[in-house]
């Protein structure tokens, strides 16, 4: 086992004043890492990670023979490696938490060169489309799906697990 050290650093000087920031986090007891760089083809949805209660249960996807254990994952990063094109990252949410697949989804824009980061996908997300109420009863993330639009993009996936 090892510790994963994550550092986020911004460098900015405005009017001769330093407005930079640096934050570091140590995530203990990591013994598995899933790291992959892949090309997501234009106009196609590409599943880049699946999470399940059992690593052998990925529901027969073409991209994955198995899934990552949702309860063991501690850190997830998706980076858009393209220099000019953005992508849409769909967070597929499994409200039932029964390995049956996504019940709903939320999408975020990941601009060129930028990253999406989250902690554990286990009880780490939920959403409500009724009156935009705050949701505090969190459920599991089912999968991450990239839609690059009309241009293919390269994506780096980095997932650390216990």
Domains recognised in the chain with CATH numbers: 29-161 (2.60.120.10)
Tokens 């949805």, located at residue: 45
Lowest mean pLDDT among 112-126, 127-141, 147-161: 127-141
CA atoms within 13 A on the CB side of 111: 0
For residues 63 and 46, what is the distance between their CA atoms, to the nearest angstrom? 8
pLDDT at 63 over 60: no
Give per-residue pLDDT as tens, 42-62. 999 999 999 999 776 555 444
pTM of the model: 0.91
**What does the pLDDT read at residue 61?**
45
Tens digit of each residue's pLDDT (9 = 90 or more) over 34-45: 999 999 999 999
- Does residue 66 surpass a pLDDT of 80? no
Separation in Å, CA 73 to CA 33, 106, 122? 9, 20, 8
């Amino acid at each position: 086992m090892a510790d994963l050290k994550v550092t986020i650093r911004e460098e900015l000087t405005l009017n001769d004043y330093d407005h930079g920031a640096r934050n570091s986090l140590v995530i203990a007891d990591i013994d598995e890492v899933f790291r992959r760089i892949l090309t997501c083809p234009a106009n196609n949805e590409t599943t880049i990670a699946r999470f399940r209660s059992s690593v052998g249960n990925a529901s027969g996807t073409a991209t994955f023979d198995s899934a990552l254990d949702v309860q063991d994952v501690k850190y997830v990063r998706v980076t858009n490696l393209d220099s000019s094109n953005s992508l849409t990252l769909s967070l597929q949410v499994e409200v039932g938490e029964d390995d049956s697949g996504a019940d709903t989804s939320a999408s975020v824009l990941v601009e060129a060169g930028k990253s999406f980061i989250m902690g554990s996908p286990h009880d780490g997300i939920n959403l409500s489309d009724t009156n935009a109420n705050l949701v505090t009863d969190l459920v599991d993330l089912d999968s991450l799906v990239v839609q690059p639009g009309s241009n293919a993009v390269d994506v780096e996936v980095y997932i650390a697990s216990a």
